[in-house]
Amino acid sequence: MAECEALSTAPLVDRSGEAPWAHAADRPIAVSRFARDALLCARNLPDRPWLINVCSDRYLFGVAFFAALLGGRVNLLPSQRSSEALNALRRRYPDSAIVADDTAAVPAPSSNSADPMPALPEIDTAQLAAIVFTSGSTGAPNPHPKTWGLLSDFRAIHWRRLTRALEEAGTPAGEVAMVSTVPPWHLYGLEWTLLLPSVAPVSMHCERAFFPKDVVDTLGSSSAPTVLVTTPTHLRALLKAPSPARPVSVTICATAPLDPNLAAQAERRLGTRILELYGCSEVGTLASRRPTEGTEWSFFDYFQLAFSEGGLTVRAPRLEASVDLDDRFERLADGRFRFLGRSTDIVKIGGKRESLTNLNAVLLEIPGVQDGVIFQPRRVRETSRRLAALVVAPDLAPLDIRRAMANRFDPAFVPRPIRIVEAVPRNRTGKMPLGKLTSMLDARAAPLDD
Amino acid sequence: MKQTPEQSRMAVLIVEALNLEDVDPGAIDPNELMFGDEGLALDSIDALEIAVAIAEEFAVHFSAKEETTREAFATLGNLTDFVMKEVNGRM
Measure Cα distances from A430 to A357, A364, A424, A433 in Å: 15, 16, 10, 9
pLDDT digits (tens, 9 = 90+) for A242-291: 899 999 999 999 987 888 889 999 999 999 999 999 999 999 999 999 99
Supply the pTM of this predicted model. 0.82
Higher-pLDDT residue of A361 and A155 is A155
Task: Give the nearest partner residue to B64 out of A214, A406, A419, using CB atoms.
Answer: A214
Tell me the C-alpha distance between A219 and A235, whole Å. 14
- Which residues, including other chains, have CB under 8 Å from residue A29's CB and lie 6 or more apart? A20, A21, A22, A23, A59
- B41: nearest CB among A383, A402, A449: A402
Give the end-to-end CA distance of chain B in Å, rounded to a whole number: 29
pLDDT digits (tens, 9 = 90+) for A80-131: 888 888 999 999 999 999 999 988 777 666 555 567 899 999 999 999 999 9
CA distance A295 to chain B (A): 26
With b for 16 or more beta-carbon neighbours within 10 A and e for fewer, the A375-398 pattern comes to: bbbeeeeebbbbbbbbbbbeebbb
The whole-angstrom distance between B6's CA and the closest CA on chain A is 23
A240 in contact with chain B, both atoms CB, cutoff 8 A: yes
User: Whole-angstrom distance between the N-terminal and C-terminal Cα of chain A?
Assistant: 58
Chain B CB within 8 Å of residue A82 CB: yes
pLDDT in tens, B40-90: 878 888 899 899 999 999 999 999 888 899 899 999 999 999 999 999 987
Is A122:A11 a contact under the CB 8 Å cutoff?
yes
Half-sphere exposure of A68 (CA within 13 A, CB side): 32
Interface with chain A: mutation pick from B33, B35, B52, B58, highest number of A CBs within 10 Å? B52
Average pLDDT on A214-230 reads: 95
